[in-house]
Amino acid sequence: MEDLNQVLRVRREKLAALSERGIEPFAYNFTRTATSAEVRGSFEDAERAGRLEEGGYGGRAALGGRIVAWRSHGKSAFANLEDAAGRIQLYFRKDVLGEAGFGDLDLLDLGDWLGVEGTAFRTRMGEVTVRVDSWTLLAKSLRPLPFGKVEVAPDTGEHIVHSGFADTEARYRQRYADLAVHPEVRNVFRTRARVISELRRFLDDEGFLEVETPALQPLYGGASARPFLTRHNALDRTMYLRIADELYLKRLIVGGLDRVYEISKDFRNEGIDRFHNPEFTMLEWYQAFSDYEDQMELVERLVVQVVERVHGSRAFRFGEHEIRVDPPFGRLRLVDALSAALAQDVLSLTDRELRERAQAMSLPDLDGAGRGKLIDKLFGALVEPELVQPTFVIDHPKELSPLAKPKRGEPRLTERFELYMAGTEVFNAFSELNDPVDQRERFEAQAELRAAGDEEAQAIDEDYIRALEYGMPPTGGVGMGVDRFVMLLANQASIRDVILFPILRTDE
RNA sequence: GACCCGGUAGCUCAGCUGGUAGAGCAACGGACUUUUAAUCCGUAGGUCGUGGGUUCGAGACCCACCCGGGUCACCA
């Protein structure tokens, strides 16, 4: 307590003063009758209908919120109260509240939760305001929130924040403070929730069954990534946090649950940057009797519906781009697009020629890159950035897609697509490999890579092969990075801005 | 993991080729009964990320480390 700085000490002193005056600083409840938006709305309705009382007052209301601005003027004071619906101005007068009720306002601070009752009116400056005739402290704030001052530009109505809370590290570490002072951050997470519930709604309506598969697994698989390890004490064995849902969901297809999906946290033990958080949210679905063509059609309908429900239109802004999700989306065969960009047929180029082309562009980290990786790098550098509007990139070379069925009639390609928007991959899908003999061979190839030191190569999953041996019908499967999809729809440049508590190093 | 940028008051930042730390906002005291980035007068507030080193003297220069942001690589 001794080392509390001045600002904190003053608030503790106010807390003590409140108790001395018999004011409970932490209330148990408060009955509110309206939100800030409802008060404003009903006042404006009454105003339009000419139903205002003498003096221009609308009806009484009780509302609760956080004090976010305070302007005191001696015998009167203005404050802004913020609740989940927005902000509204409060007006306190000494002649209304009395000596004590007005004097006790001195013990309030920015950040305090306050319940007020009063009547709405319009000030000389034209702002709908609640004239407070009684107030209740709901929770005293003992630590100052980093409020900026908000200026509303008179011409544009734009909100300009002065001296706000800008330190990104502090914003992520203390997300509660970030949310408390940034209504727009709260809105990002409302958008996120909306996107996820619309994804569910779409898949539910299509007859998919939502399932839950293990996050804690004895063997991980379904993607190329390093896992997190943990330990189960009673079983005395190492367990892994899942890196993908894929293999469990396809086991369910084998079992006859012919349309399944899962929205879950996956965990990958990899670097952290603006597109990667070690735990992230993945949507995967699998549909029996369908191939990748069917899934393209389904993805197209899903994207259009979710965007329309979230934005109320098929167009939205992302950074500098105006994205339009008008079907049919563009389709681009990967090899065609890359051949055009290179002005040479990719499939006829040798590995060595591919490497020379990549080196000529001074693409980094080419050491040890195989054919698939070279193609992927060239595509990433030459074609991806151009894919701003929704575009299906299809028929990837076999080297790039060990989990997809071969393309009918073109065995060097696979039946796979990725949907790109704003230059990033959002969906990835295959006609799923359902031949257990082929699957075993591919697992064994992975095992060789693993033995050679590739930590991301997959292990042989004998149980999964057994499942395939019972018979898996032809199946189309789709995976989507939910956080990245939310980034697009909420116009956020970093994955940390769509995850409430992104992973940071510990700060002790 | 590599490279670049950053960490100074509760918040946002300034601090020159090294000379014992500044502003605005917030806070505190005072004036002000329709203000709105309220205004005006006054006061107080700092282990300069951490630890070493160079120097008569380090917020600044050197080394190491911690934390964050960005770019690249892997991936969604």
At residue A172, the pLDDT reads: 93
Identify whether residues A224 and A137 lie together within a single domain: no
Output the pTM of the full model: 0.93
| Distance from CA(A319) to C1'(B55), angstroms, rounded | 50
In tens, the pLDDT along A328-350 reads 999 999 989 988 888 888 888 88
Considering all nucleic acid strands, name the nucleotide whose C1' atom is nearest to the C-alpha of residue A502. Answer: B68
Contact (Cβ atoms closer than 8 angstroms) between residue A322 and residue A506: no
Is residue A43 in a domain? Answer: yes
Q: Distance from residue A306 (CA) to nucleotide B14 (C1'), in Å?
A: 47
- Tens-digit pLDDT profile for residues A388-401: 999 999 999 877 77
Give the pLDDT score at A382: 85
Do A306 and A387 lie in one domain? The reply is yes
Which residue's CA lies closest to nucleotide B66 at its C1' atom?
Answer: A507
C1' (B2) to CA (A273) span, angstroms:
14
Residues A115 and A239 in one domain: no
Closest-approach nucleotide to residue A424, Cα vs C1': B76
- Which residue's CA is nearest to the C1' of nucleotide B69? A168
pLDDT of residue A55: 81
Tell me what pLDDT residue A441 has: 87
Estimate in Å the CA A5 to C1' B9 gap, whole number. 10
Give which of A97, A56, A94, A91 is closest to A74, Cα–Cα.
A94
Nucleotide nearest to A57 (CA to C1'): B34
The predicted pLDDT at position A162 comes to 83
Distances (CA, A) of A85 to A60, A263, A298: 18, 29, 36
The residue that minimises its CA distance to C1' of B50 is A508
Q: Is residue A36 part of a domain?
A: yes
Cα–Cα distance measured from residue A273 to residue A424, given in angstroms and rounded to the nearest whole number: 15
The distance (Å) linking the CA of A4 with the C1' of B43 is: 19
Answer whether the bond into residue A227 is a cis peptide, omega within 30°.
no
Q: Which nucleotide is nearest to A161 (CA to C1')?
A: B37
More confident residue, A159 or A219: A219
Q: Which nucleotide is nearest to A74 (CA to C1')?
A: B32
Give the strand pairing for A330-333 and A391-394: parallel
The per-residue pLDDT for A341 is: 86
Domain total in chain A: 2
A507 CA, B5 C1': Å apart: 21
Does A508 have pLDDT greater than 80? no
- In this structure, the answer to whether residues A118 and A63 fall within a common structural domain is yes
Given A131, A164, A197, which residue is the final one in a domain? A164
Place of tokens 């359902």: A434
Distance CA A361, CA A378 (A): 9
CA of A503 to C1' of B58 (A): 35
pLDDT at A160 over 60: yes
Question: What CATH number does the domain containing A419 carry?
Answer: 3.30.930.10
What pLDDT does A3 receive? 54
Instruction: Tell me the per-residue pLDDT of A247-259, one tens digit each, with 9 for 90 and over.
Output: 999 999 999 999 9
Co-location of A73 and A13 in the same domain: yes
pLDDT of residue A4: 62
Question: Phi/psi class of residue A289: alpha, beta or left (left: φ > 0; alpha: ψ in -120 to 50)?
Answer: left
- Give the nucleotide with minimal C1' distance to the Cα of A124: B34
Nearest protein residue to nucleotide B68 (CA to C1' distance) is: A169
Residues A123 and A244 both lie in one domain = no
Last-in-domain residue among A129, A164, A199: A164
Q: Which strand (E) or helix (H) includes residue A258? A: none
CA of A381 to C1' of B71 (A): 15
Q: Is residue A181 part of a domain?
A: no
* The nucleotide closest to A147 (CA, C1' atoms): B11
The gap between A194 CA and B48 C1' (Å) is: 45
Same domain, A352 and A231: yes
A213 vs A353, residue with greater confidence: A213
Asked whether residue A180 is assigned to any structural domain, the reply reads: no
**Closest nucleotide to A425 by C1' from CA:** B76
Protein contacts on strand B: list nucleotides below 7 Å from a Cβ. Answer: 1, 6, 9-13, 24-29, 31-39, 44-46, 66-76
Q: How far is the CA of A487 from the C1' of B26 (A)?
A: 33
Whether A203 is covered by a domain: the verdict is: yes
Examine the pLDDT at A151 and tell me if it is beyond 90.
no
Is the residue at A507 inside a domain? no
User: Each residue of A29-59: pLDDT tens digit?
Assistant: 999 999 999 999 999 999 999 988 888 888 8
Question: Are residues A269 and A337 both part of a single domain?
Answer: yes
Q: The domain that contains A33 carries what CATH number?
A: 2.40.50.140
In a domain, A174, yes or no: no
* pLDDT value at residue A233: 93
Shared domain check, A191 and A157 = no
Band the pLDDT of A1: cuts 50, 70, 90. very low
pLDDT value of residue A51: 87
**Assigned domain for A424 exists:** yes
- With CA atoms as reference, report the closest residue to A310 among A487, A480, A185: A487
pLDDT, residue A192, reads: 96
Over residues A363-383, the pLDDT tens digits come to 665 656 667 777 888 888 888
Percent of chain A with pLDDT over 70: 97
Q: Answer whether residue A276 shows pLDDT above 60.
A: yes
Segment (H or E) for A87: strand A86-93
The CA–C1' separation of A20 and B42, in angstroms, is: 29
For range A275-280, the mean pLDDT: 92
pLDDT at A369: 63
Nearest nt to A162, CA vs C1'? B37
Q: What is the pLDDT of residues A64-88, one digit of tens each?
A: 999 999 999 999 999 999 999 999 9
* Averaged confidence pLDDT in chain A: 91
What is the domain extent for residue A121? 2-164
> Are residues A402 and A301 part of one domain?
yes
- Mean pLDDT along residues A218-225: 87
Please check whether residues A130 and A209 belong to one and the same domain: no
* Spacing of A452 CA from B63 C1' in Å: 39
Q: Which residue is nearest to nucleotide B44 (CA to C1')?
A: A6
Residues A87 and A135 in one domain: yes
What per-residue confidence (pLDDT) applies to A2? 44
